[in-house]
C-alpha cells in the first residue's frame, strides 16, 4: 500500500512587479513531479541545492500552496486547493526540518514543546503528561531531567533529538526528513541516522529523506528519486542506481562523491544551472550534459520505464556506453 502518492505535482511561486504588482513570472520549484512511498519503505529524493526537493516535501504535507496535481495520503485524495483537507492526516504525517534551532520555539521549554502535541491529540491526559514527555525523551536518548530547559541550552544534536521526539510523539505512519543531519557535526550525524533507523524498526515507519548526501542515501534507502530544476530525472532501486545510473545527471552526482582513494578525485559537474523562472526549451539538463544531441533541444523527455526504474532521457546511459567513453 502507498502511504503517499503524488501525481503531476506542481508548486509555482509567483513573481510580481510594476506599479500594480502584477504577476510577471513564476519560479517553477516543483514542476510536474510524480512520487510514491510504500508502507514501511525508505525513499530518498536527491539533487543539488535549489532543485526543489525541500519544496516537494512541504507541498506533499500542504505546508506551501500547491499549484496543481494530485496528492493521495493513505489512499485518500487531498483537495490541494483547500488547506483543511490535510487536517485529518496531520497526526499520521510528520516532518523533521533541517535546522533544529529555528524549528523549535525558543520561548517554550522542552516540556511544553513535547507536551502540546500529546495533549492536542489526546495521547496523554494532563495527569499523565509528565510521564509521557519523559518517555519520549528516553526514546531519543535524552534525560527526562531536560524538560525544563529551553532550546538554546542544548547542542545541535540534542535539539535534533528533541525535534525527532516531537515528530514521534503523535505516533505517525510516516516522517519526511528534510536534510535532518546536514546542519550537524559529522560525529553526530551517524548517531541521528541510527536513531531514526531504530525508531523506524520499532514503529514500522515509512521515511522520505530529502538530502544532497548520496553516501547517506546509499546506506539507508530502498529507492531513490533524482531531482533537477523541479523535475524528476530518474528513479531507481538504490542498488541499481549506484551500480548502473541511467541519466547523465545521476552519473555526474555519483562521480562527485568524495572517496578515500586519492587516485579517484571527485569530478565536479560544470556549467551553469538554468533559472527556474525561465527554463530552456527541450531537456532542462542539456546545457550541462556531455551527451546532449540535437533532439535534446526540442522537448523535455518524458519519464518512462526502463530496466527496474524510470528515466527522463532520450539517450539513457548503459554500461557499454560508459565503457566506450572511458576509452576515449
Q: What is the mean pLDDT of the chain?
A: 92
pLDDT at 320: 52
Work out the average pLDDT over 193-202. 94
CATH fold group of domain 2-109+169-327? Rossmann fold (3.40.50)
**pLDDT score of 324 more than 80:** no
Give the alpha-carbon dihedral of 102, 104, 109, 112, to 10 degrees.
Answer: 160
**pLDDT score of 281 more than 80:** yes
Among 106-120, 268-282, 295-309, 311-325, name the one with the lowest average pLDDT.
Answer: 311-325
Which of 163, 86, 91 is closest to 123 using CA atoms? 91
Q: Who's near 223: CB < 8 A, 6+ residues apart?
A: 41, 43, 44, 235, 236, 237, 238
Q: Who's near 14: CB < 8 A, 6+ residues apart?
A: 23, 25, 26
For 26-65, give one letter per residue: b (16+ CB within 10 A) or e. bbbbbbbbbbbbeebbbbbbbbbeebbbbbbbbbbbbebe
For the record, the C-alpha cell of 120 comes out as 492536542
Work out the average pLDDT over 45-70. 95
pLDDT at 328: 36
Phi-psi region of 236 (alpha: psi -120 to 50; beta: other; left: phi over 0): beta
pLDDT at 73: 96
Are 237 and 223 a contacting pair, CB within 8 Å? yes
Q: What does the longest C-alpha to C-alpha distance in the chain come to?
A: 73
For 252-288, give one letter per residue: b (16+ CB within 10 A) or e. bbbeeeeeeeeeeeeeebeeebbebeeeeebbbbbeb
Which of 261, 258, 229, 223 is closest to 242 using CA atoms? 223
Which of 239, 140, 182, 179 is closest to 57 using CA atoms? 179
Are 111 and 131 a contacting pair, CB within 8 Å? no
pLDDT at 258: 81
Residues of the chain with pLDDT > 90, as a percent, come to 79
Q: pTM of the entire structure?
A: 0.92
- What confidence tier does 319 reach under pLDDT thresholds 50, 70, 90? low
Work out the average pLDDT over 208-229. 94
**pLDDT score of 35 more than 90:** yes
Cα separation, 111 vs 129, whole angstroms: 9
pLDDT tens for 99-158 read: 888 889 999 999 999 999 999 999 999 999 999 999 999 999 999 999 999 999 999 999
Q: Who's near 263: CB < 8 A, 6+ residues apart?
A: none
Give the alpha-carbon dihedral of 233, 210, 67, 63, to 10 degrees.
Answer: 180
Question: In the chain, what are the domain boundaries?
Answer: 2-109+169-327
Distances, alpha carbon 27 to alpha carbons 15, 66, 123, in Å: 7, 13, 41
pLDDT at 323: 43
pLDDT at 174: 96
**pLDDT score of 300 more than 60:** yes
Amino acid at each position: 500500500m502507498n502511504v503517499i502518492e503524488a501525481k503531476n505535482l506542481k508548486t509555482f511561486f509567483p513573481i510580481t512587479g510594476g506599479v500594480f504588482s502584477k504577476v510577471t513570472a513564476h519560479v517553477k520549484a516543483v514542476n510536474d513531479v510524480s512520487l510514491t512511498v510504500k508502507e514501511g519503505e525508505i525513499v530518498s529524493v536527491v539533487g543539488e541545492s535549489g532543485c526543489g526537493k525541500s519544496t516537494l516535501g512541504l507541498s506533499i504535507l500542504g505546508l506551501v500552496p500547491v499549484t496543481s496535481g494530485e496528492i493521495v495520503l493513505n489512499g485518500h485524495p487531498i483537495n490541494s486547493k483547500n488547506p483543511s483537507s490535510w487536517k485529518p492526516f496531520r497526526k499520521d504525517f510528520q516532518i523533521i526540518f533541517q535546522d533544529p534551532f529555528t524549528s523549535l520555539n525558543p520561548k517554550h521549554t522542552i516540556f511544553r514543546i513535547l507536551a502540546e502535541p500529546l495533549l492536542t491529540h489526546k495521547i496523554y491526559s494532563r495527569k499523565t503528561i509528565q510521564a509521557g514527555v519523559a518517555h519520549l525523551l528516553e526514546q531519543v536518548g535524552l534525560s527526562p531531567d531536560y524538560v525544563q530547559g529551553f532550546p538554546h541550552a542544548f547542542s545541535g544534536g540534542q535539539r535534533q533529538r528533541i525535534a525527532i521526539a516531537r515528530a514521534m510523539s503523535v505516533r505517525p505512519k510516516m516522517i519526511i526528513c528534510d536534510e535532518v543531519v546536514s546542519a550537524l557535526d559529522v560525529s553526530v550525524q551517524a548517531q541521528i541516522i541510527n536513531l531514526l533507523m531504530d525508531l523506524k524498526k520499532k514503529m514500522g515507519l515509512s521515511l522520505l529523506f530529502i538530502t544532497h548526501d548520496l553516501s547517506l542515501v546509499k546506506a539507508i534507502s530502498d529507492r531513490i528519486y533524482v531531482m533537477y530544476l523541479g523535475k524528476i530525472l530518474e528513479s531507481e532501486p538504490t542498488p541499481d542506481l549506484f551500480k548502473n545510473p541511467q541519466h547523465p545527471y545521476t552519473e555526474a552526482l555519483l562521480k562527485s562523491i568524495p572517496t578515500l582513494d586519492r587516485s579517484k578525485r571527485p569530478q565536479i559537474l560544470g556549467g551553469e544551472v538554468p533559472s527556474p523562472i525561465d527554463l530552456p526549451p527541450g531537456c532542462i539538463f542539456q546545457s550541462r550534459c556531455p551527451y546532449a544531441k540535437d533532439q535534446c533541444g526540442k522537448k523535455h523527455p518524458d519519464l518512462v520505464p526502463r530496466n527496474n526504474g524510470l528515466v527522463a532521457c532520450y539517450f539513457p546511459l548503459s554500461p557499454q556506453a560508459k565503457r566506450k567513453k572511458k576509452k576515449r
